[in-house]
Structure 1
Amino acid sequence: MKGILFCLYSSLCIYYNEGTVTLPQNISVPAVIAFGDSLMDQGNNNHIKTILKANFPPYGMDFINGNPTGRFSNGKTLADFFAKGFGVKEYLPAYLDPLIHDKDLVTGVSFASGGAGYDPLTSKLSNVMPLSVQLKMFKQYIGKLKRNIGEKDATDIITNSVFLVSAGTNDFLVNYFTFPIRRLQYDVPAYSNKLVKLAKSFIQEIHKLGARRIAVISTSAIGCIPIERTLAGGARRICVDKYNKASQLFNSMLKLQLQILERTLPKSRIAFSDFYDPLMSIIDNPQEYGLEVTHRGCCGTGELEMSYLCNKRMTRTCHNDSNFFFWDSLHPTENGCDIFVNLVLPDMIKNLF
C-alpha cells in the first residue's frame, strides 16, 4: 500500500504512503478519546487493584526507552495508532497517569481498563473499571477541560473528537464461556442481545455528554486468539468454532443496532469497525501482511502467557516480534496493531465524516 490514493467519496480521498493512512486536508480531528478494554488501555490498570497489569518487562520492550507503560503490547497499541491515524498525536495517554499534563487532555486520553466489558459482571470478575466508572471519569475530564480552556472550546473539542469504544471480547471469553453464571441465565443469542443493549446504552450516555463521532470496534475472531486455541482448540490448537460463531452473531446484531441508533441520535455518526474479518484475513494469509506467525504470541510459548505470566524472569520472547501478529496470547504486537489500523481506518473515516 505505497503511494496509492483511495477515494471513498468524490470529495473524500485518503492517501496511503508506505502503509500509513493520511487524512484528507478537509478533515481535522482535535482529539481521540478511548473507552473499553485492554486493546485501548494505555496504563489505567497500573493505578487500580487488579491482577490484569502490563507495567513490567517484557511489555513495552519496543516502546520509548523500552518502558513498560501498562500497555498490553511490546510497544504502541491500537489506541496509539488510531490517534496517529487521525492526525492527533503519536501516543494516547492513560487518563489515570499521574504524570499527565493539562495540554495532554486537550488532544484526548484513554479511559479504558484491561479486562472490562459491556457486562458489568465481566469487569467485576477481573476487578477492573467497568464502563460506568469510565463514564464517570469522562465526566471529570470534561469538567477539567472546561476549567482549563473554557466551556466553548471544551465543547468544540468534544463535538469534533473521535470516540473509540472497544469491548465485548472479555464478555465472552472471561465471563460467558469461563464462568457458569451468565450461561445459566442466557443462551448465546440472548446474551449477545443483552450486550448489544448495554453497548447502545453506553453510546447514548456519551452522546448526551457531547460525543458525535463514535467508532465501535467489534469483537474479533475470539476462537482464533492463541490462548483460546490452547484452552479449547484441542491437541492441534485449532480455532474454536463455537466461540467464533458467538462473535459473529454478536457483531451482526451490534452492527444493525448501531445503524438504527445513528438515525435516532441527533447529529451523530456511528461507525461499526469490524475486527473479525480483518483478523481472519491476517491469520489465514500472514505473508500478505509481512507476517510469519499468527497462531501464537511472541512472549514465552505464546500459547498461554499474558499479563503476569508474560514476564522477563519466567519467559523469553521471540527473536523478531515484528513477524508476529500477537505479542502475548491475547494482544497484538505493535506491528499487528499498525497493520490492523491501516486496514480499518479508511472505512472508519468514511463512516464518521
Structure 2
Amino acid sequence: MKGVSLSTKFFFLSSAFAIFFTTEAVIKIPGNETVSAVLMFGDSIVDTGNNNDLNTIAKCNFLPYGREFKGGMPTGRFSNGKVPSDFLVEDLGVKEFLPAYRDPTLQPKDFLTGVSFASGGAGYDHLTSTTASAISLSEQIQDFKKYIGKLKGMVGEERTNFILAKCVTFSVASSNDITNTYFISGIRKLNYDFPSYTDYLVESASNFVKELYGLGIRRIGVFSAPPLGCLPSQKTLNGYSGKGCVNYLNEASKLFNAKLSAEMGCLNNNLPHARVVYIDVYNPLLNIVQDPKKYGLEIANKGCCGTGIFEVSILCNQLDPGTCADDSKYVFFDSYHPTERTYKIIVSQLLQKYIKSFL
C-alpha cells in the first residue's frame, strides 16, 4: 500500500478485521444500517471475565462455570456457557464471543468490534460495587475512555467516532443494588425508603447513560431489573420453595422498572440523534420461570449447581458432588444466574422486539 497514509492503512486494516471476524447475523437489520461493534457495561449477567484477577468473591473462573463454553473451560462468565454479551454479538453478526476488556490476552482486533467492561457485583449504587469489590460503573467508564484512546491509536479519530456512533451499547445493572445493598445488607435503608431508593438508582442510571452519550455513544440499550423474587437464592433467603416467587421483591423490580422506563424515554426524546432504549427482561424471564416446559426447560425453582438453592460464585464449585449432569433442563445454572439455554431464549426475544428501536 505504497503512498497510502497511515490512517488510511488502519482503515483498511480495521475493515479487514471486521470482515474476517463477522459471523452470519441471526437477526436481520433493516435497510443499510450496520452494527459496527457491541459494548457492554454492568454486572455479572454480562461480565465475560473482567473479575478474574480482582480480589473479590464475585468471580467464577473455575468449574463448573463454563463447562459448556467453547473448549469446556471456565472464562469468568457467570453461567455454564455463553452469557447475553455473547449471544448479542453472535445474533447481530458481529463476532462469536464478546471478550472482557481486562482480559490480558485481549487481541487488537477485538477493539474494533467491541468488548465487555462489566463486572460481577457492580450496580448503579457505588456502595454496591464497593461492597462486592467489583469494578464500579465509574471505573468502567474510565476503562472505556482508555479503550477509546487505544482505538484512536489504531484507526484514527474519524474511524473511532464512526465505530462509537454505529455500535450498540448495553447497560445491565440494578439487581445487586436491590437485592444486596437494599434488602439483604440493609445499608441503604438507613437513608432511603424503597421508593426513594429507586429514584436514586434511576438518577444514577440516567447519569451513566448521559456519560456514555458524552463520549460519543448514540445507541444505548438499558436492561430492566429481572423478577428478582424468582431467583432461587432470593427464594431461599425468604423461606420460599416450590414454584412461587417472592412477591415483594418482584414488586420492587416492577417499581424500579416503571421509573427506569420513563426516564429512558425522556432521555431518548431529549438527547439529539440518540437511540436510548429501555429493554424489558422482567417479563421474558418471568414467563420462562412460570412455564418452563413451554420453552423446552423443566426446572425453574432451583439452579443446577449443588443444591441449587443458595450456591453462587465461590460456593458453586467443582468440589460439590450435587451439581446436575444435564443443565439443559434448568432455567438457572446457579442460584442467581440463568443457564446458557435460558439466556439464548431471552436474547433472541429481545433482539426481535427491540432491534428496530436502535435504528
TM-score (norm 1): 0.92
The secondary structure found in structure 2 opposite 1:331 is coil
Q: For residues 299 and 48 of structure 1, what CA distance do their matches in structure 2 show?
A: 23
CA deviations over 1:12-35 (Å, ceiling 9, x no partner): xxxxxxxx5343463311100000
1:3 corresponding residue in structure 2? none
Pairing 1:234-273 to 2, within 5 Å after superposition:
234=240, 238-273=244-279
The question of 1:179 aligning with 2:185 is answered: yes
CA deviations over 1:37-91 (Å, ceiling 9, x no partner): 0011000000211111100011110111111000001110011001112211110
Q: For residues 226 and 23 of structure 1, what CA distance do their matches in structure 2 show?
A: 36
Gaps in structure 2 of 5+ consecutive residues = 1-25
Q: For residues 181 and 36 of structure 1, what CA distance do their matches in structure 2 show?
A: 21
2:294 corresponding residue in structure 1? 288
The question of 1:206 aligning with 2:212 is answered: yes
CA deviations over 1:113-150 (Å, ceiling 9, x no partner): 00000000000111111100000000000000000111
1:76 corresponding residue in structure 2? 82
The question of 1:190 aligning with 2:190 is answered: no
The secondary structure found in structure 1 opposite 2:129 is helix
| Displacement of 1:236 | 5.0
Which stretch of structure 1 is more off in the superposition, 256-265 or 134-143?
A: 256-265
The secondary structure found in structure 1 opposite 2:47 is coil
2:113 corresponding residue in structure 1? 107
Gaps in structure 1 of 5+ consecutive residues = 1-19
The secondary structure found in structure 1 opposite 2:318 is coil
Which stretch of structure 1 is more off in the superposition, 294-303 or 116-125?
A: 294-303
The secondary structure found in structure 2 opposite 1:44 is coil
Query: Quick one: which of 41, 47, 52 aligns to 2:47?
Result: 41
Are 2:243 and 2:300, in contact at CA under 8 Å, matched by a contact in 1?
Answer: no
The secondary structure found in structure 2 opposite 1:335 is helix
| Displacement of 1:154 | 0.8
1:278 corresponding residue in structure 2? 284
Are 1:230 and 1:237, in contact at CA under 8 Å, matched by a contact in 2?
Answer: no
Give the percent of matched residue pairs that are identical in Structure 1 and Structure 2.
47
- Equivalent position amino acid for 2:343 in 1: C
2:23 corresponding residue in structure 1? none
Query: Quick one: which of 312, 327, 335 aligns to 1:321?
Result: 327
1:5 corresponding residue in structure 2? none
| Displacement of 1:317 | 2.3
Which stretch of structure 1 is more off in the superposition, 28-37 or 176-185?
A: 176-185
Query: Quick one: which of 35, 56, 59 aligns to 1:29?
Result: 35
- Equivalent position amino acid for 1:135 in 2: I
Are 2:243 and 2:290, in contact at CA under 8 Å, matched by a contact in 1?
Answer: no
Q: For residues 53 and 241 of structure 2, what CA distance do their matches in structure 1 show?
A: 38
Are 2:29 and 2:356, in contact at CA under 8 Å, matched by a contact in 1?
Answer: no
1:344 corresponding residue in structure 2? 350
- Equivalent position amino acid for 1:351 in 2: S
1:6 corresponding residue in structure 2? none
The secondary structure found in structure 2 opposite 1:45 is coil
1:16 corresponding residue in structure 2? none
Which stretch of structure 1 is more off in the superposition, 195-204 or 312-321?
A: 312-321
2:318 corresponding residue in structure 1? 312
The secondary structure found in structure 2 opposite 1:46 is coil
| Displacement of 1:319 | 2.5
Q: For residues 316 and 24 of structure 1, what CA distance do their matches in structure 2 show?
A: 47
The question of 1:331 aligning with 2:313 is answered: no
The question of 1:56 aligning with 2:58 is answered: no
Q: For residues 29 and 242 of structure 2, what CA distance do their matches in structure 1 show?
A: 43
Q: For residues 310 and 157 of structure 1, what CA distance do their matches in structure 2 show?
A: 38
| Residue correspondences, number | 335
Pairing 1:87-102 to 2, within 5 Å after superposition:
87-102=93-108
Q: For residues 291 and 242 of structure 2, what CA distance do their matches in structure 1 show?
A: 19
The secondary structure found in structure 2 opposite 1:282 is helix
Q: For residues 330 and 294 of structure 2, what CA distance do their matches in structure 1 show?
A: 13
TM-score (norm 2): 0.91
The question of 1:65 aligning with 2:71 is answered: yes
The secondary structure found in structure 2 opposite 1:138 is helix
The secondary structure found in structure 1 opposite 2:278 is strand
